[in-house]
Amino acid sequence: MTAPPVVSIQQVSKRFKGFTAVDGVDLDVRDGEIFALLGPNGAGKTTLISIVAGLLRATAGTVTVLGKDVVRDYRFTRRAIGLVPQELNFDPFLTVEETLRFQAGYFGLRLADARLEEILTALDLASKRGENTRALSGGMKRRLLIGKALVHEPKVLFLDEPTAGVDVELRRSLWAYVRTLRARGTTVVLTTHYLEEAEELADRVGVI
C-alpha cells in the first residue's frame, strides 16, 4: 500500500485581477521525498507554494497537507509546514538566537535549548548566536532562514529558490543538509529555475 500524499494540490488556480499566475495545477508530494518544482521566473512557483503555506488564497481548487484543508484547517497545516522564503526577511535588531526563539514563539512554542543547539550546529551558526542578524554574511543569512523554518519541526519543508544567488560551496552544503533532513523523515519541496539543481537533488521533478 502506498502512503497518502503529504501535500495534495488539486486543480489549483490563482488569478491576480485579470492575470492568471497559476492555472489548474495538480500535484501530489509523497511522504519523505525531495520534490523539485522546476520552472522559469514568473512560472508561478512562489505563488503556488504561498497557497500551500496559507499566505495566499487560491482562486479555485483545493490543497491538503497531511489530509487537512489549508483553508479550513489552516492552524494544523501551518504547523505541519516550514517555509523558507525566496527573500531574506529578518528583524535587523535581533540576534541569531533571538530570531530563532521569537520564531518558535509565533507557533506558541518555547524553543528547547537542545533544539536550539541542534539547529545552530547543523547550520554552522553556533559561533554567531549572539550576533545581530545585520552582521551576518549572505550565506549565513540564508542558513538562518532555514533554521527559522525548522524551529517547530515541520513535517514538510518548502524551500523557495534556496540557492539562487548562492556560491557553489554554500550550494553544496545546503544540498547536503537537505538530504540530511530527508533522511530524518522530513519531506522537502523546493522550487528552482536550475535544471541541474532539480536533477541532482530531487527524487522527482515537476515542471511548471
Near ligand ADP by CB under 6 A: residue from 24, 42, 105, 138:
42
Near Mg ion by CB under 5 A: residue from 22, 37, 46, 82:
46
Partner from ligand ADP, Mg ion, none contacting 80, C-beta within 5 to 8 A by type: none
21 binds ligand ADP (CB under 6 A): yes
Nearer to Mg ion, 8 or 86 (CB): 86
The region of 28-36, 45-53, 63-71, 180-188 touching ligand ADP under the rule CB under 6 A is: 45-53
Near ligand ADP by CB under 6 A: residue from 27, 34, 36, 46:
46
Near ligand ADP by CB under 6 A: residue from 19, 87, 108, 169:
19
Helix/strand/coil (H, E, C) string of the chain? CCCCCCEEEEEEEEEECCEEEEEEEEEEECCCCEEEEECCCCCCHHHHHHHHCCCCCCCEEEEEECCEECCCCHHHHHHHEEEECCCCCCCCCCEHHHHHHHHHHHCCCCCCHHHHHHHHHHCCCHHHCCCEHHHCCHHHHHHHHHHHHHCCCCCEEEEECCCCCCCHHHHHHHHHHHHHHHHCCCEEEEEECCHHHHHHHCCEEEEC
The region of 38-46, 95-103, 133-141, 197-205 touching ligand ADP under the rule CB under 6 A is: 38-46
In the complex, the residues that contact ligand ADP under the rule CB under 6 A are 16, 19, 21, 39, 41-47
